């Protein structure tokens, strides 16, 4: 029997994905002056949403892993670089908010478990 709340593993994976995305976005910003560089992003939430929309069983969602993908659709400058620093900074802020939301939900779940354990004392 596990005392881990249902969905805690998924929240941890979402937080890990957000951490990976932060690193990828930071790399995009660092590469904004590199000719020919194409921006990258992390896909995870989209894959989970698609799998759930198709009715995939919850136990199979564990098989879905975050993937770093190259964005071939972004507008490219004359030097072949597709990084827009302002958009990347905006995506970093959005990603930080997502991470904080996931962490807040996980803390709330852990707090409930702690209260349940300590209420018997």
For residue range 18-32, list pLDDT tens digits in order: 999 999 999 999 999
- pLDDT tens per residue across span 77-116: 999 999 999 999 999 999 999 999 999 998 887 666 666 6
Per-residue pLDDT reduced to its tens digit, 37-56? 999 999 999 999 998 898 88
Q: What is the DSSP string of the chain?
A: ---SPTTHHHHHHHHHHHHHHHHHHHHHHHTTTSTT---EEEESHHHHHHHHHTT--GGGGGG---EEEE-SSS---TTS----HHHHHHHHHHHHHHHHHHHHHHHHHHHHHHHHHHTT-
Q: Would the pLDDT of 117 be above 90?
A: no
1 band by pLDDT with thresholds 50, 70 and 90: very low
């Amino acid at each position: 029997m596990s005392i881990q709340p249902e969905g805690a593993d998924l929240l941890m994976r979402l937080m890990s994905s957000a951490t990976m995305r932060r690193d990828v976005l930071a790399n995009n910003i660092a590469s904004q002056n590199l000719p020919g560089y194409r921006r990258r992003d992390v896909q995870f939430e989209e894959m989970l949403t698609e799998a759930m929309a198709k009715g995939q069983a919850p136990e199979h969602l564990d098989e879905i892993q975050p993937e770093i993908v190259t964005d071939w659709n972004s507008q490219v400058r004359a030097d072949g670089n597709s990084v827009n620093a302002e958009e990347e900074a905006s995506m970093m802020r959005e990603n930080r908010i997502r991470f904080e939301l996931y962490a807040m939900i996980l803390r709330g779940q852990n707090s409930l478990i702690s209260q349940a354990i300590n209420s018997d004392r």
